[in-house]
Structures are given as C-alpha cells and as structure tokens.
Amino acid sequence: MTQVVLFNIFNGLIVGAFYALMALGLSLILNLSGVINFAHGGFLAIGGYVAYTLIPYVGFWGALVLAPVLTAILGVLVERVLIRRLYGRDPLYSLLLTFGLAFIFEDGTRFIWGAQSLPFQVPGWLMAPLSSDYFFLTGYRLFMVLIVAIAVIGLFLILSYTKLGVRIRAGTLDLETVSVLGVNVRILRNMNFGMGVYLAGLAGVLAVGQLGLQPTIGSSLIMPSFVAIIVGGLGSLPGTLLGGFLIGVASGVTTVFFPSATEAVIYVMMAAVLMVRPRGLLGEEGRF
C-alpha cells in the first residue's frame, strides 16, 4: 500500500509537470492581457495534429521544434485579427470569443484530420520503462519532464533578462504606465499571446506521444490547467507551477483510495482554495 501511494505521488509529479506546462501558457496570457483563453486546449490539439502531419517529412525531433512554432504563429494571427478588438472590454467578451474558438478548433481538426484517433509514434528508444520496478518512469515521460523544465527555465530567463520579458512583467503589474512610457502595448500583447500559445503547442506535441491523437484531446486537458492556475494563484507563474504539481499529486493519490473521484478531487481542491484563500496559494491580493 505504501509503495502504491509513493509511486502515485511520484507519478503525480510527472503528470503535474505536464499540467503546469499548459497552465503556464494560459497564465501568461491571462496575466498580461486579462484574456481567459478557453481556446488553449484547441491550440494544444492543433500542435499535436501539426506535429503528426510533419513527422513523415521532418521526423519526430523536427516536428517537436516546428509544430509549436507554427501553432504560435496561428496564435499571433488569432490575437491580431480577433482578440485584439476585445481588449478594454469586460473579460466576458474575450472569454466568450475563445470559448467559441475552442469549438471551432475542435470541429476544424475533426474536419481536416477526421474523427478517427490517429496513431502518433515517438522514437522506439524513448518508449521503454527505465526500470522494471519504476515501470511508470519511461524514457518518454522523463524526457517530457525535461522539456517542461527547459521550457519553464527558458520562460523565467526570458521574463527576467530580456527587454520583452521585463516589459511583459511590467505590463502585468501596470499596463497603462508601461504604455505611457512609450512601449507599444499592442505588439507586447501580441508577442505574449504567441508565447503562451507556443507553450500550448509544445504541450500538444508532448501529450500525443502518450495519449491518442483525437479532436477532443484539447478539451479533455484544458480544465486541469485552469484549476492549476486558480489553485496556484492568479498572477503568479511560480504559483501556476505549484498548482500543476499539486493537482497532479492529488488526483494520483485519490486513485489509490477513491478511484472514481480522481477527476472530481481537483475541483474539490479548487473550491476549497477559493473559499479559504480566494487569491490562490501564491496569488496576488486584489487581482481579478
């Protein structure tokens, strides 16, 4: 029993790392632009499908690099054409827009690639478990955690040391002042949206390595990421990371004791956090 619990905690951290990757992209967009991007799951699915389409030409590694970039370009276009018009209005407008986009993306992928699950293959040597005892620690999952770590560190470096990053952070705190200081807020938001969608595309390629590639993949992965943000705290990227890990472990441990509540437990956690500490574990007071 102890072993099963320990295994599930460990496994929960791996699963949580993935949720965190998705949630970071969401959080990035939410913090700067105040857009609750319900279409994030749709971007994730597109990342997966684009990778599947590219693999015959550029191989898995090429697709891993290219698919998130192409998804990010789509993100930049969507922001430029649709979302930009809604800044400054009630967040409900952009929420409704992205909610609609999520359906369009899901049906769009179904239209282009079909409803049938597609067999997405990753290189064989990544597939095997590293040890017979810790069988859930496969090369691919370790690789996934590594990529998440690189993405997170990369994101923190960009936000801390580049001009774009400093502007994004400043904009998150006070967009008006940043704008008055001569920063082009439109481009800033556009780039920031692209970065968030890049993370969704990356999560998409990683996800389809271990899940079936189907049009519903985005909608089934999006909710845990929202919960991660709310539990971790709005406005805080470290909080988002923490939220991802927490819900991964919580649902893993729940499997041991009450398996049919594995999905419900994360919402119970969210409700508890909202009641006791509405700003989330590491969130800022008074934001949203």
Partner 1 sequence: MSKDPISVPVKRRTILKAGLALGAMQVASPFVTKSLADEPVKIGLDNPATGTYAALGKNELIGCQLALEQINAKGGILGRKVELLVEDSTSGDAGTAVEKARKLIDRDQVNFLLGNINSALAAAMANVSYEKGVFHVVPGGHTDPITGANCHWNVFRVCNTTQMEANAVAGTLIKTAGKKWYYLTPDYAFGHTLQAGLEKAAAALGGTKVGGDLTPLGTTDFSSYLIKAQAANPDVIIFLQAGDDAVNALKQAVQFGLDKKFHLAGAQQELEVLIGLPPEARIGTWVFEWYWKQPNVAHVNDFVADIRKRSGGHVPTARTWFGYAATHTCALAAAAAKSLDAVKMAKAMQGFKLPPEVALMPDGAFYRAAQNQLIPDLYVGNAQAKGSDPEDLFNVTDVVKGITTAGTVEDTGCKMTWPA
Binding positions for partner 1, rule: CB under 8 A: 3-4, 7-8, 11-12, 14-15, 106-107, 110, 114-121, 127-129, 132, 135-136, 138, 140, 210-217, 220-221, 251-252, 255-256, 259-260, 262-263
Report, in Å, the least distance between residue 198 CB and partner 1. Answer: 22
Distance (Å, whole) CA 260 – CA 11: 18
Phi-psi region of 36 (alpha: psi -120 to 50; beta: other; left: phi over 0): beta
Query: Closer to partner 1 at the Cβ: 145 or 191?
Result: 145
Q: How far is CA 69 from CA 174, 204, 238, 274, in A?
A: 29, 12, 24, 35
Choice between 115 and 181, CB closer to partner 1: 115
Closest distance of CB 125 from partner 1, Å? 12
Q: Which two tokens stand for residue 211?
A: 């899940």
Residue closer to partner 1 by CB (options 53, 262) is 262
Compare residues 3 and 88 and give the one whose CB is closer to partner 1.
3
Write down the least CB distance from residue 248 to partner 1, Å: 9
* Residue 208, token pair as written in the block: 């389809």
Residue with tokens 């430029």: 80
Measured CA to CA in angstroms, residue 187 lies from 68, 78, 180, 191 at distances of 20, 13, 14, 6
Nearest distance from C-beta of residue 18 to partner 1, angstroms:
8
Tell me, what amino acid is at 201?
A: G
Q: Shortest CA distance to 199 belongs to which of 41, 62, 57, 89? A: 41
**Cβ nearer to partner 1, comparing 136 with 156:** 136
Query: Could you give the CA distance from residue 140 to residue 153 in angstroms, rounded to a whole number?
Result: 20
Q: Which is nearer to partner 1, 32 or 217 (CB)?
A: 217
In angstroms, how far is CA 287 from the centroid of its own chain?
A: 21
Closest contact distance (angstroms) between CB of 254 and partner 1 is: 8
Dihedrals phi, psi of 152, to nearest 5 degrees: -65, -45
Smallest distance from partner 1 to CB 205, Å: 15
